[in-house]
Structure 1
Amino acid sequence: MTRHKQAVEKATKSINQVKEEVGTNQWRLKYHVSSPAYWINDPNGFSFYNGEYHLFYQHHPYSAKWGPMHWGHVKSKDLTFWEHLPVALAPSEEYDKDGCFSGSAIEKEGKLYLMYTGHKWTGDNHDTDLEQVQCLAVSEDGVNFEKLANNPVIGAAPVGDIHPHHIRDPKVWKRGDDYYCVIGNKTKDEVGQVLLYRSHDLIEWEFVNVVAKGEGNFGFMWECPDIFDLDGHDVLVMSPQGMEPEDYLYHNLHQSGYVIGELDYESGKLDHGSFELLDYGFDFYAPQTTIDDQGRRVMVAWMAMWESDMPEQEFNWAGAMTLPRQLFIQDGKIISKPMPEVEKLRNELTAYENVIFEGKKVLGGVSGDCIELDVVIDAKDASLFGLKLRVNEEKGEETVVRYDLAEGFLTLDRNKSGKGLDGIRQAPVELKDNELHLRIFMDQSSVEIFVNGGEKVMTSRIYPGQASTGVEFFAEGTVSIKSLKKWSLNESVGCEPVHSKSLSEI
């Protein structure tokens, strides 16, 4: 048995020892991907292979804190019901002895290849004393992976203004007869940038160019880059570290967003526009995309943030993935919508139309901790309106979503959301015909808010008590709940599909 196989089996055994106990925790998510136990962060290797979606993730299988990174693994036929698989990658070789860091996946000749960053520490200072190289592992079945004997396939950093050690997170794709990958990096004087490489066979790689580099307030390191074609445009997604707050923007420790432009594959330069956020909430980082057999560009991200409180760590788990989201370009910007397959989770519809009120309104049957809300609110003559989620008046718990017409901002307020977390986030939102459309997904310890058809999204972890299940509407002035649909949602991670009515069947 290889060293790698032994390390994988040891990691999988560690998870299995505690997963049943972890599964009983009140904050365990029911339809969002997380590991059966212990720590996870960035999504990795998101791919469509042999008719199934494969999603890997950064994983420490020995504690609920960040540690030597492994790759956890789930797969799905529909992006909704997910099956847990054994750990895919574990540190086992000299070049990756301190971690199999983030990367991506691609199919070649019927096999699934994982391209990842091999990481090792060379001293005590974790900012300066490290080596990072790019490596490959391959699988015949999409489950069991072996590292290539000639790893690393990309060793030392290129010459130039390229930091030699912070060089990680390869995202690989094929164009014509060639393979390309982008890798996150920074300059020697701490400016984030992305490197472009090209290969004929995935094994021998040549450096092409610095494809894009930060200017102004654009961070000291760009992590988890991803380049893809969307609706005829080239999109670069990345996660800049170290952007300074500007007004309502960039208040998370690190950000995730994109630029749209045109990539010259010969020169290796991306001519692009301004940086835009992909999510305006608290907990969204390191997004990665794939394209499926229907030609859809699908994105998933880590639903957490570095150095934030994670109350679930006390119960031997930490971190989760967002709902998969389909990306489109509309009016020169990306919009993101939940994948339509999520409708399979719906049951127990409660619906209302044209509910006019001022002050406070509670509607029968509209409550819960694992639900979807689809609501259109006509502002009428109100100056401010919104709704409170996961309400428990006795405990003083609530998560507040409010819209201020004078300011033109949607605010997500988790100052009373339960244990561990607080703060507000804001997104500029324009009403459409004086109406606000919200599609809200709540799980046991998360909320995702899709605004006006995905023009903006706000994602957050929250940790309320089990009895905090109320939903309450409020307004200063008169508003109309033009339409409201509420569904309870079934569990879908690590369990068999349960048939539910989709929207088209209701």
Structure 2
Amino acid sequence: MTLANFVPQRPQLHMTPPMGWMNDPNGLVYFEGEYHLFYQYHPFDTVWGPMHWGHAVSKDLCRWQHLPIALAPDEQGACFSGSAVVDELDVTGLFGGKPGLLVFYTCHKVLSSDPEDYEQSQCVAYSCDRGRTWQRFAHNPILPPPGFKDFRDPKVLWHSATQRWVMALACGQEIHFYTSKNLLDWQFASAFGEGHGAHTQHPWECPDLFELPVEGARNGQVSSRWVLIVGIGATPDNAFGSFTQYFVGEFDGQCFINDHSPHDVMMMDEGRDFYAVQSWSNTPGRRLAVAWLNNWQYANHAPEAGWRGMMSLPRELTLRATSRGIQLCQRIASECHEALTAYPQTIVPQEWLGVGQHVLLASQQAIGRGVLTFTLMPGSRVALSLQQGDHQWLILEAGDEDVALRYTRQGVNGQAAFDNHFACDHAAGSIDGLTVTVEWWCDHGSLEILVNGDTQQRAITQVSFISQIKGSLDVKVLEGSARLLEGNVVSRKEAVAQEKNAVTSCTY
């Protein structure tokens, strides 16, 4: 599939920048009826450059209003990734006794003509007007350069059991934890990471840390657990490119203890394009997260149209007890479902399909969501094309008691970095049982898939460049047999106004 002259269309369901380059989500926080989403931003080019903090707000996670840039590089350096919290009790003394917003970010300062000669420190900015304007803390940095290079991406959270704030920082190949009573003075607590999970030539980055109840826990089992999310960047020794791993364990406000084997690598998403995951703080009752929908191997070389980059759909995160231990599960936020109001279509159940048989469903529009449940006989192989064309397939391979997943993707555009890495054929883990439910979300530039078995789930998120999105669901039986049990498609009208990309009072 040739993409040399491909011009991407704006996604209908996903958040994109008004112009220029976007990567990591930053500073996700809910405050006074608004979801704030900051992001790594270069407004003056469509490739990565001096990092700003772009800023958008939404009341429903679907329609986004872009606000003026919150942070821009200054004499202290560029503004790398970080997080945001609500200072409800004004423990910082910055808000005159009222609640206010704080963002924590990494200041990245290059020290010479060599871009690899840099130092990093942690800084704070605050807003007294619901995030519309921002001031840097007068006594930045709150954590000065430590004497090693990679010291970044502060994730700050409240730890209720110890009644203090915690900061998780990516420090080389580890996550370091700091604690504070007032959000300004921080003390080192512990480190986690050596000998655990995946390590490459690239340092760990973009940590997140939160506690969740465990669904399906029985008597005698733990009722809640902590989740530590860590990003792994693209390096020559890592053919997959950038990806997101997670750990499940215990956190007492000082130390994180991994429940799983140190050698286990648990992928948050098995696709190539789900990175720098961050969750919203201050959202009582649920944990919502979003990721940058791209891969560092080819992100700077993908097709663009004056803007480049998008966020994944917001996902609600849960923990589930499975036969393989406690695992993280995801579902697309309910607000996204509510945005789909046009062209519902039911997929008619089918009897057993044999080799060479397939089901083809076409609808007027396929920007939206589909669900398909079917049973495979042991030894069967089934291929699903969930968007128009043959450039991307999900392959299900049934064993005796589980189903292994693979995905393939094609595409070249004449740029070596893109042509060498975008096309792929990768294993994507397995799920228990032989009855599977595949849920997919299509939009311009993306395909997000959730595959559920009896107790387990796999997520597969992919950049997907196609010239037109017209409804196409093709299920082919390659070996053995499969039975389609139920399914439906709910799509969104293409004519919906792009109000989520409206820009108000922006300065670039």
Task: State the TM-score, normalizing by the size of structure 2.
Answer: 0.82
Aligned position for 2:448 = 448
Letter in 1 for 2:188: F
How far does residue 125 in structure 1 lie from its aligned partner after superposition? 3.2
Q: Does structure 1 conserve the Cα–Cα contact (< 8 Å) formed by 2:444 and 2:469?
A: no
| Structure-2 separation of matches of 1:306 and 1:398 | 21
2:335 is paired with a residue whose SS is: helix
Asked if structure 2 preserves the Cα contact closer than 8 Å seen for 1:68 and 1:91, the reply is yes
- 1:209 shift after superposition: 2.2
2:428 paired with 1:427: yes
Whole-Å separation in 2 of the counterparts to 1:445 and 1:203: 41
Return the alpha-carbon distance in structure 2 between the equivalents of residues 384 and 366 of structure 1. 26
Indicate which of 79, 86, 89 corresponds to 1:107. Answer: 86
Q: Deviations over 1:151-204 (max 9, x none)?
A: 1111131xxxxx622100000012244221111011xxxxx0011111221112
Greater helix share, 1 or 2?
A: 1
Counterpart of 2:113, as a letter, is D
Shift of 1:217: 4.8
> How is 1:347-366 mapped onto 2 (pairs within 5 angstroms)?
347-356=342-351, 357-358=353-354, 359-366=356-363
193-202 vs 411-420, greater mean Cα deviation: 411-420
Return the offset for 1:314: 4.1
1:218 paired with 2:206, answer no
- In the other structure, the counterpart of 1:173 is 157
Is residue 400 of structure 1 aligned with residue 393 of structure 2? yes
**Which of 254, 272, 275 matches 2:265?**
275
Q: Which residue of 2 aligns with 1:457?
A: 459
Shift of 1:469: 5.1
Structure 1 residue runs of 4 or more that deviate by more than 6 Å after TM superposition: 242-245
Task: Structure 1: state its 5+ residue gaps.
Answer: 1-23, 158-162, 187-191, 498-506
The structure 2 residue matched to 1:495, chosen from 495, 499, 503, is 499
Quick check: 1:371 aligned with 2:354? no
Distance verdict in 2 for CA 1:328–1:180, change over 3 Å? same
Deviation of 1:234 (Å): 1.6
CA–CA separation in structure 2 for the residues paired with 1:493 and 1:212:
46
Verify the 8 A CA contact 2:360 2:472 in the aligned structure 1: no
- The number of aligned residues is 450
Contact 1:193 1:214 in 2 (8 A): no
235 and 473 in structure 1: CA distance in 2 versus 1, 3 angstrom threshold: same
Structure 1 SS opposite 2:297: coil
Contact 1:391 1:399 in 2 (8 A): no
State the partner residue of 2:232: 240
Name the CA shift for 1:426/1:366 in 2 (closer, same or farther; >3 Å): farther
SS across alignment from 2:35: strand
Contact 1:367 1:470 in 2 (8 A): no
The answer (yes or no) to whether the contact 2:42–2:51 under 8 Å persists in 1 is yes
Equivalent residue in structure 2 for 1:89, among 65, 71, 81? 71
Matched, 1:37 2:24: no
**Could you tell me whether the CA contact under 8 Å between 1:83 and 1:493 is conserved in 2?**
no
Alignment partners' CA distance in 2, 1:494 and 1:257: 33
- 2:169 pairs with 1:183: yes
What secondary structure is seen at the aligned counterpart in 1 of 2:387?
strand
Gap change, CA 1:166 and 1:344, over 3 Å in 2: same
Identify if the C-alpha distance between structure 1 residues 366 and 413 changes in structure 2 by more than 3 Å, giving closer, same or farther: farther
Shift of 1:369: 4.6
CA drift at 1:90: 0.8
Relative contact order higher in (CA < 8 Å, ≥ 6 apart): 2
2:24/2:276 contact within 8 Å kept: yes
Deviations 1:472-497 (A, max 9, x none): 22113432221110111257895279
What is the Cα deviation at residue 457 of structure 1? 0.2
- Find the residue that maps to 1:226 and give its secondary structure: strand
Question: Which of 473, 482, 487 is matched with 2:485 structurally?
Answer: 482
Aligned CA distance change for structure 1 residues 214 and 121 (closer, same or farther; 3 Å): farther
1:290-325 superposed Cα distances (whole Å, 9 cap, x missing partner): 245442011111110112156655422211111111
**TM-score, scaled to structure 1:** 0.82
Q: Deviations over 1:211-233 (max 9, x none)?
A: 44345852341101111111121
Alpha-carbon shift at residue 399 of structure 1 (Å) = 1.5
Partners of 1:194 and 1:210 within 8 A in 2? yes
Larger deviation: 27-36 or 63-72? 27-36
Q: CA deviation at 1:431?
A: 5.0
The verdict on how the C-alpha distance between 1:481 and 1:244 changes in structure 2, with shifts beyond 3 A counting, is: farther
Query: Partner residue of 1:414?
Result: 409
**Cα separation, partners in 2 of 1:150 and 1:330, compared to 1, 3 Å:** same
* Gap change, CA 1:467 and 1:456, over 3 Å in 2: closer
Letter in 2 for 1:146: Q
> In 2 relative to 1, CA 490–138 (structure 1 residues): closer, same or farther, beyond 3 Å?
farther
Equivalent residue for 2:285? Answer: 295
Aligned position for 1:145: 134
Deviations 1:20-48 (CA, angstroms, capped at 9, x unpaired): xxxx9543211111101111111100111
SS at match of 2:76: helix
TM-fit CA distance, 1:280: 0.1
The CA distance in 2 between the partners of 1:323 and 1:171, in whole Å, is 21
Partner amino acid, structure 2, of 1:54: H
Name the structure 2 match of 1:134.
Answer: 122
- Contact kept, 8 Å, 2:29 with 2:281, in 1: the verdict is yes
Deviation at 1:279, TM superposition (A): 0.2
Q: Identity, % of aligned pairs?
A: 29
> For residue 207 of structure 1, what is the aligned residue in structure 2?
188
Contact kept? 2:28, 2:281, Cα under 8 Å: no
Which AA in structure 2 matches 1:42?
D
Residues in 1 aligned to 2:412 and 2:486: alpha-carbon distance in whole angstroms: 26
Counterparts in 2 of 1:297-312, with a 5 A limit? Answer: 297-308=287-298
CA distance in 2, matches of 1:296, 1:286: 20
1:318 and 2:308 aligned = yes
Aligned equivalent of 2:111: 122
RMSD, aligned CA: 2.7
